[in-house]
Structure 1
Amino acid sequence: MIDINRLKEQIKRNCNISDAKHWGFYSICGLLLRLRELYRSEHEVGLWEKLPQKEVGEWIFNREILWKQLENEEYGDITIKNNTYKPFDIENINTELKNEGLLYGAGLGINLKPSFFLAEIMSQEKIGGYECYITGHEYARDLSNYPAMLQDKTIFVRIDPLKQLLWQRFEELRCKNTKSALTYAFSRYGISSEDLPSADTERQISQIATSEAETFIHHEIGEAFEEEIIGSEWKEFLTYFPHTKAEIFVRSLKDMLSDTSDNGMLKYIIANQKEGSLGFYIVFLTGMRKVLFPEIIDAFNIFTEKCDWSYIDKARKLGYKKAMSYVERLLSKNQIYKNEKDLIAKYIEDSILKKDFSL
């Protein structure tokens, strides 16, 4: 039998090491928000419940002390029933866990920050050749809040982080009186700005997260499909520019390509006429992704008046064409500059971000 508590301790230690090494890449506001989310997760506080400010403050103080102790430590191996695995050996670790109803995830996110989690498996199915898991309660996680991850032929959708993202938008909804994509998205699930935070509302948000899980799966399927088409050079290219504007651009480009792919999220939304999912797609389209893809905003505004999915599909195709054009342009420059990362980053910032987007 697996010692679950020991397993949680090992994974949580790696989570803390990752946070200790990378917390400085978040903005102050972003870090505080993530810390509050992490406190809520570790202490199993409901999303609708107010956090105890004094206890949270003390916990953050102690967590910062812990980070100081761990910032120079190496990520530890994971030992299960006398078998030891490297922390990114998710296939073999999950083979050990398959009879426990648990799933382990590990990968690299933005700024190449390692991310780890251990969660209960809610469901498992094969979609398009990919083993897709939807997870529920999380026993260990780091500051990262990715709702979905792709690892080789395995896709994870994490309901807990997705619920937290949706709850943040629900709180935003309650502060807004104007008609918006946020209002539209929640209205498709029977939630309005008049609803109050409560256990019942949290249950509704959980239902939304579960309903949206397959939509997120298709983002990851789109990503995998496009990487196969473009080749390994693109996957390596995505790691070239950690902590730079160039990284934000290429990762946003990757997401746009994934979403607009014939196998991606938007195609799935259109095929199944998921109005709520379309609304949330617009809600979560922020930052560089929003700058890159204004066509979908215009199409959504028309859609809310005419309810004609052809406008969304037209925008999807235009977005894909634009994204692929930039990918081809960047990989061409990569050949010219012979993998000179600084030169390519400068090209992205000067010839694309400044020239094409005035950024």
Structure 2
Amino acid sequence: MPNASISVLAEAVQYNCHVSDARHGADDSLCIYLMKMREYFRWEKHLPYGASLEREQVGEWLQAREQLWEELEEAQMRPIEIDGERYDPFDAEAINNRIAPLGLVYSGGLGNRAKPHFVLGALEQRRSSDGYSVFVVADEYARDLSAPPAMTLGRTIFVRRESLRRYLWEKLEGWRWHRPDNALGRAFACYDFDGALESSLEAMTAREIKALLLHEQGEYEAGQRLGEDWNAMLAVLVHTPAELMARAVRDHLADCLVTLPTLADAGEPASLHFYIGTLTGMRLHLFPALKDAYAAWLETDATGAFAQLADQGRAHWEQVAEEMLALYRRHGGATPRALSDASPAGLPDAIRLLVESRRL
């Protein structure tokens, strides 16, 4: 880390990361949690990818970290203090205005299940285009357990190079357990991971950061179309299956707006394989036609099926999203009755039934 003042700032951000993890560390299944903790240990100890982790050291660190989280379960987020001035930890714009001269970038926002995500890192690049700004984060000095490689907050897109690299590493590690012949394996086969791990990770990161930015550009455009009511609706749906569906619908809209047509036009096998290979869970359940388009591409080597599906999906998912918003408004927004899973008339159930009926 460059200097002592930045270290103090990183400690302040890391405290809020610990508070967030204390509240949400148990959100994942045990298997996923332990995998994340192993890589969190690797990041915190500055260990290289591929380095074997001593089980005893990881175990002791894990026990200490869980003890810390237990102590912070009822703690509140602290303001970020810079030169005597205090800032709300979610006021990323104001904080970035102060730390940009130091070559730093900060992000603070809510992710899945309303989990707060914070990061402080080195500013690699900043640019503005078409009404939004893009910050690219290089080395990260403070972060929480879950480190989303990208996040769009209002008119600002944050892309995290180090988190993307670690995400790719985790995907590679998971795939290597059984090495199935699938889309993810075909994506990895485009690189020499067995013979040149670090350079292959760097090459894949450089390629996929472009695709990541495409998705966030789509997120921004989707946000412009759907308006602020969408985030208000998400707040009502937190911790329900309908939240996962809502996020998947918006992800598909974003990808059909920008990611999928651009990838289809470029026709890069590595990125197309990786896009399909990481399509799991709710996103795959709601959009099985993507698998059909992938099969057509494998057979013909032509990306026309992807382009056609993007056109179809763009109209389809925007319509589904608008119907979801109509349900939200009809239910009067965030009311206790709307949050009741037990009531068939509750908003989460209504949205779940709607989206399930509109799979593509």
Q: Give the TM-score of the pair, scaled to structure 2.
A: 0.91
In 2, the alpha carbon distance for the partners of 1:120 and 1:254 equals 30
1:326 to 309, 320, 328: 320
In 2, the alpha carbon distance for the partners of 1:84 and 1:290 equals 43
2:223 to 227, 236, 244: 227
Change (3 A) 1:183 1:32: closer
Deviation at 1:243, TM superposition (A): 1.2
Give the 5 Å matches for 1:18-57: 18-57=20-59
In 1, the alpha carbon distance for the partners of 2:206 and 2:137 equals 10
SS in 2 for 1:136: strand
Deviation at 1:179, TM superposition (A): 3.4
Deviation at 1:122, TM superposition (A): 2.2
Aligned to 2:6: 4
1:290 aligns with 2:293: no
Give the 5 Å matches for 1:338-349: 338-339=332-333, 340=335, 341-342=338-339, 343-349=346-352
SS in 1 for 2:12: helix
Deviation at 1:184, TM superposition (A): 2.4
In 1, the alpha carbon distance for the partners of 2:116 and 2:354 equals 31
In 2, the alpha carbon distance for the partners of 1:338 and 1:126 equals 37
Deviation at 1:260, TM superposition (A): 0.7
Partner letter of residue 63 of structure 1? R
1:121 to 120, 123, 146: 123
Deviation at 1:351, TM superposition (A): 5.0
Aligned to 1:140: 142
Partner letter of residue 145 of structure 1? A
Deviation at 1:327, TM superposition (A): 1.1
Aligned to 2:235: 239
Aligned to 1:103: 105
Contact kept in structure 1, 2:245 and 2:355, CA below 8 Å: no
In 2, the alpha carbon distance for the partners of 1:257 and 1:63 equals 38
SS in 2 for 1:179: coil
Change (3 A) 1:356 1:227: closer
Contact kept in structure 2, 1:2 and 1:80, CA below 8 Å: no
In 2, the alpha carbon distance for the partners of 1:265 and 1:290 equals 16
Partner letter of residue 166 of structure 1? L
Unaligned 5+ segments in structure 1 are: none
In 2, the alpha carbon distance for the partners of 1:81 and 1:351 equals 51
SS in 2 for 1:88: coil
In 2, the alpha carbon distance for the partners of 1:43 and 1:306 equals 47
Aligned to 2:342: none
SS in 2 for 1:210: helix
Aligned to 1:301: 295
Aligned to 1:90: 92
Deviation at 1:239, TM superposition (A): 1.9
Partner letter of residue 91 of structure 1? E
In 1, the alpha carbon distance for the partners of 2:47 and 2:97 equals 31
Change (3 A) 1:253 1:123: same
Contact kept in structure 1, 2:320 and 2:355, CA below 8 Å: no
Deviation at 1:15, TM superposition (A): 0.2
In 1, the alpha carbon distance for the partners of 2:302 and 2:324 equals 35
Q: What is the root-mean-square deviation of aligned Cα atoms in Å?
A: 1.9
Aligned to 1:181: 183
Contact kept in structure 1, 2:327 and 2:351, CA below 8 Å: no
Deviation at 1:350, TM superposition (A): 4.3
Unaligned 5+ segments in structure 2 are: 340-345
Change (3 A) 1:127 1:265: farther
1:277 aligns with 2:261: no
Deviation at 1:306, TM superposition (A): 1.5
SS in 2 for 1:331: helix
Deviation at 1:206, TM superposition (A): 2.1
Deviation at 1:252, TM superposition (A): 0.9
Deviation at 1:227, TM superposition (A): 1.6
Q: Give the TM-score of the pair, scaled to structure 1.
A: 0.91
Aligned to 1:155: 157
Aligned to 1:201: 197
Partner letter of residue 191 of structure 1? D
In 2, the alpha carbon distance for the partners of 1:178 and 1:142 equals 31
Deviation at 1:298, TM superposition (A): 0.9
Number of residue equivalences:
348
Deviations 1:245-277 (A, max 9, x none): 11111111111111111xx21122123333221
Deviation at 1:338, TM superposition (A): 1.8
In 2, the alpha carbon distance for the partners of 1:5 and 1:177 equals 41
Change (3 A) 1:272 1:90: same
Contact kept in structure 2, 1:238 and 1:247, CA below 8 Å: yes
